Amino acid sequence: MESEKSATVTYSPAAVLNLFNNSLSVNETKRIVQLKGIYIQGKGMQYSGYFYDIFRDESTDAAITILVPPLIRNELQPNKTVTVNGFITRRIINSSGSIQIQLTVTDLVGQTQNKYTEDDVRKIQLMQAKAATGYRDVYSWLKEKIITEEPFKIGIVIGKTGIIDNDIKHQLRESIGFYDLSFHRVNLSSEEEILTILDRLSNENYGLVAVSRGGGENLDIFNRFTIAEKAVSLQSLFVTAIGHKDDVTLLQRVADKSFITPSELGQFLNDVYNETVAELENSKARLIESVKLQLTAGYQKQIDNLNEKLKANEELRLKTAKDLELVYKEKMELLNGQLAGEQKLQAERVGILNDQINSYKKQIAQIEGKASVNWTIVVIAVIVGLIIGYLLKGH
């Protein structure tokens, strides 16, 4: 038993496909069923007595292959809603590793006009594709351009004889000086002219392209699939300003933004500009206030630091002055002491000299009292006097 469980079974791709094909069991494959859809003819080649055509949903892009006998096929009309009876079969496609569900038609029940035409289906698919890629935010895009002051061009397509350019300009008011706006006149009843101008504006790198028309009827041109498809493929942002409130055309549905009237488009551009400028002013005011507070705090800190330095310098100065005064006082005391010593020494010397002078005077007096003068002693006395005078003068 264990060896049987652990044994590895090797299949080929075809074997796997047949294994799953045989294992599929649906009650509807065992009886006749009724199928309704839009009939689309295939290539017109017959295989094994059948034509391989297609049934597609009326409201989606889901489809199934049907095998139609020649007699029934002759009665079927392409692109009409058809109801048939048949039985479900499966077909293995080895090249893609898939199992295809098919219906073999046995009889025609009925056929009616389609609920949706082929053009309607294409329009629905186009709107689905636009929804999948996303509607671009025109307001945010304009706002960013205004804030960054990045230049951009707006091209507005209008009728050859239209006067709506004045309506748009009037609503722009003071913001008209900011926008690089240009109007391009074409025949709005001509599909070819509209496609041409859209191509040209896109190639000339217009940031925003608008199609604008005043009120009135005859809006069929804006329901053309080719024009809407061209608008979806534009690199430029695309808006419409078609003056009709009740009838929303295909072109309006696929536009990034649509306006009911041309004046509303002008008002929108003016509002975006004014709101963005106001926000910028408020942001600048807040920024200036923030910078002011930061600078004030920075300056106050610098002032506090300088005050602390001045206080420290003043303390150092006072301490230095006190130290200098103490040193000066000590030096003065030392000098006064030295001077007193010198004066005392000088007084002692003077006293000694005075004693010597008095002694010499006595000796001279004694000599003078003698009858005969000893000139040698006189000369010596004079010399001694000169020496004493010199010494006194030097000190």
Give pLDDT tens digits for 356-374: 788 877 877 776 666 454 6
Mean pLDDT score, 55-59: 81
Q: What is the pLDDT of residue 154?
A: 95
CATH topology match: 9-115 vs 121-277: no
Assign 14 a pLDDT band (cuts: 50, 70, 90): low
Average pLDDT over residues 113-122: 70
The answer to whether 82 and 39 are in contact (CB under 8 A) is yes
- pTM over 0.85? The answer is no
Share of the chain above pLDDT 70, in %: 84
User: In terms of pLDDT, which residue wins out, 306 or 283?
Assistant: 306
- Name which residue leads in pLDDT, 196 or 58: 196
What pLDDT, on a 0 to 100 scale, did the predictor assign at position 143? 92
More confident residue, 23 or 249: 249
Lowest mean pLDDT among 160-169, 220-229, 245-254: 245-254
291 versus 257: which is more confidently predicted?
A: 257
Give the pLDDT confidence score for residue 371 in this predicted structure. Answer: 46
Higher model confidence: residue 93 or residue 116?
93
At residue 80, does pLDDT exceed 90?
no
State mean pLDDT over 386-393. Answer: 73
Give the pLDDT band of residue 32 (cuts 50, 70, 90).
Answer: confident
Instruction: Give residue limits of the domains in the chain.
Output: 9-115, 121-277, 349-394
CATH code linked to domain 9-115: 2.40.50.140
pLDDT at 236 over 60: yes
Top mean-pLDDT range of 78-87, 119-128, 348-357: 78-87
If one compares 115 and 198, the residue with the highest pLDDT of the two is 198
Read off the pLDDT of each residue in 44-67 and give the average, rounded to a whole number: 85
For residues 120 and 124, give the distance between their C-alpha atoms in angstroms, rounded to a whole number.
6
Cβ atoms of residues 272 and 154 within 8 Å:
no
Greater confidence (255 vs 359) lies with: 255
Q: What CATH number belongs to 121-277? A: 3.40.50.2300
